[in-house]
Structure 1
Amino acid sequence: MWQYTYLAINFFTIIICFIFSFHPKIKFNKHFKAFLLASVIVAVFFIAWDIWFTANGVWWFNDKYLIGVRYIGLPIEELLFFICIPFSCVFTYFCLDKFFKLDWKPSIEKVFIIISVIACFVLALIFKDKIYSFVTFLTTAISLVLLYFVLKVKWIGKASFIYLVLMPGFLAVNGILTGTGLESPIVNYNPKDVIGFRILTIPIEDTVYGYEMILWNLFFFHKFKRHEQN
């Protein structure tokens, strides 16, 4: 039964959100197309990143917890990860944004973005010899600059708060993937490619990686959702 572990993580991450998508007061199911288009576009980049890191031994997967089906060098469960995790995050964002006013004041949001960009650039420079750390911090800094200053999105502060709200779920899911409660991790990291600071068993880089991935999912979701309404 252990071979279904990663598959089960994906399933239980998405199933409750999927069921409530059809609730008459939420109606997220009307935006399934917008979500799928968004998640596929974002997944292309992150899967390419995943393939390269896997091929170069930055991280690898424990076959004990996999059903054994691989495609383009990755377990099928890892590919599903890029649909299941964004779905639960975008759904949560959609619900909280629908029922609560969570927008930040523009001045506060701008300060937050500037501080975050500087922090990510500095960390990328400090840990330039750690490939996962370097790439994660650098691309997150670039993403924030593109989204806020170039693409002019006005919801990053709100999305950041909701990501923080989602953190317990993130810690639970990513904790299991990285070995919390298991005999050995599902996803293993090369110690020379990460800072080494962990939350439970989770490399700190994973929190930033997830943040960047969700921001881009939200960007394209907003874009395609607007097209649905035209």
Structure 2
Amino acid sequence: MWQYTYLAINFFTIIICFIFSFHPKIKFYRHFKAFLLASIVTAIFFIAWDVWFTSNGVWWFNDKYLIGLRLFGLPIEELLFFICIPFSCVFTYFCLDKFFRLDWKPSVEKVFVIISIISCLILALIFKDKIYSFVTFLTTAISLIVLHFVLKANWIGKASFIYLVLMPGFLAVNGILTGTGLESPIVNYNPKDFIGFRILTIPIEDTVYGYEMILWNLFFFYKFKKNEQD
């Protein structure tokens, strides 16, 4: 039964959100195509990142918790992760944005983005010898620059707040993946490649990695959703 652990994590992450997608007051199912396109486009970059890190031993997977199917050197469960996690996050964002006014003032959002960029760049510089830390902080800074100043995304503050709301769920899912409640982690990290500061068993970099991934999912979701309406 242990070999279904990672698969079960993906399933239970998405199933409730999927069911409520058909609620008559939500109707998220109308945007399944937009979400799927967004998640695929975003996943291309993150899967390439994942493949490179896995092949270079930055992290690796415990076969005890996997069904054994692999593609590009990654467990099939890891590939599903890039659909299931974003689905739950984008669905939650969609619902909260639909029923609540969560928009930030442009000036406040700009200050937040600038502080976030500077913080990420400083951390990337400080931990430049830690490949996971360096790549995560640097690409997040670049993503924020591109999204806010080039692509003019005006929802980053709102998305950041909702990501914070989602943090308990993130900690629960990622906690299990990194070993909370298990004899050994599903995902293992090379100690020399990350800072070493953890929330429970979760490397702090994972929270930033997840944040960057969700921002890009939301950007492409907005883009493809608009095309649907057009």
Normalised-by-shorter TM-score class: over 0.9
Q: Which residue of 2 aligns with 1:31?
A: 31
Q: Which residue of 1 aligns with 2:113?
A: 113
Count of aligned residue pairs for this structure pair: 230
Does structure 1 residue 81 correspond to structure 2 residue 81?
yes
Distance 1:219 1:153 in 2: 8
- Unmatched 5+ stretches in structure 1: none
Q: Which residue of 1 aligns with 2:22?
A: 22
CA RMSD of aligned residues (A): 0.3
Q: Give the letter for the 1:197 counterpart.
A: F
Q: Which residue of 1 aligns with 2:142?
A: 142
Deviation at 1:81, TM superposition (A): 0.1
Deviation at 1:216, TM superposition (A): 0.1
Q: Give the letter for the 2:140 counterpart.
A: T
Distance 1:111 1:42 in 2: 26
SS at match of 1:208: helix
SS at match of 1:188: strand
Structure 2 matches for 1:129-168, cutoff 5 A? Answer: 129-168=129-168
- TM-score by length of structure 1 reads 1.00
CA deviations over 1:186-215 (Å, ceiling 9, x no partner): 000000000000000000000000000000
Q: Which residue of 2 aligns with 1:11?
A: 11
Identical columns (%): 88
SS at match of 1:183: coil
Deviation at 1:228, TM superposition (A): 0.7
Distance 1:122 1:151 in 2: 23
Distance 1:134 1:199 in 2: 19
Distance 1:194 1:55 in 2: 16
SS at match of 2:88: helix
SS at match of 1:25: coil
CA deviations over 1:33-54 (Å, ceiling 9, x no partner): 0000000000000000000000
CA deviations over 1:73-124 (Å, ceiling 9, x no partner): 0000000000000000000000000000000011110000000000000000
SS at match of 2:80: helix
Distance 2:141 2:178 in 1: 25
- Unmatched 5+ stretches in structure 2: none
Distance 2:153 2:213 in 1: 16
CA deviations over 1:149-187 (Å, ceiling 9, x no partner): 000010000000000000000000000000000000000
Q: Which residue of 1 aligns with 2:43?
A: 43
Distance 2:54 2:228 in 1: 37
Distance 2:30 2:135 in 1: 35
Does structure 1 residue 91 correspond to structure 2 residue 91?
yes
Q: Which residue of 2 aligns with 1:212?
A: 212
Q: Which residue of 2 aligns with 1:60?
A: 60
Q: Give the letter for the 2:193 counterpart.
A: D
Q: Which residue of 1 aligns with 2:169?
A: 169
- TM-score by length of structure 2 reads 1.00
Q: Which residue of 1 aligns with 2:127?
A: 127
Distance 2:151 2:163 in 1: 20
Distance 1:190 1:87 in 2: 29
Q: Give the letter for the 1:198 counterpart.
A: R
SS at match of 2:128: coil
Q: Which residue of 2 aligns with 1:191?
A: 191
Distance 1:225 1:37 in 2: 10
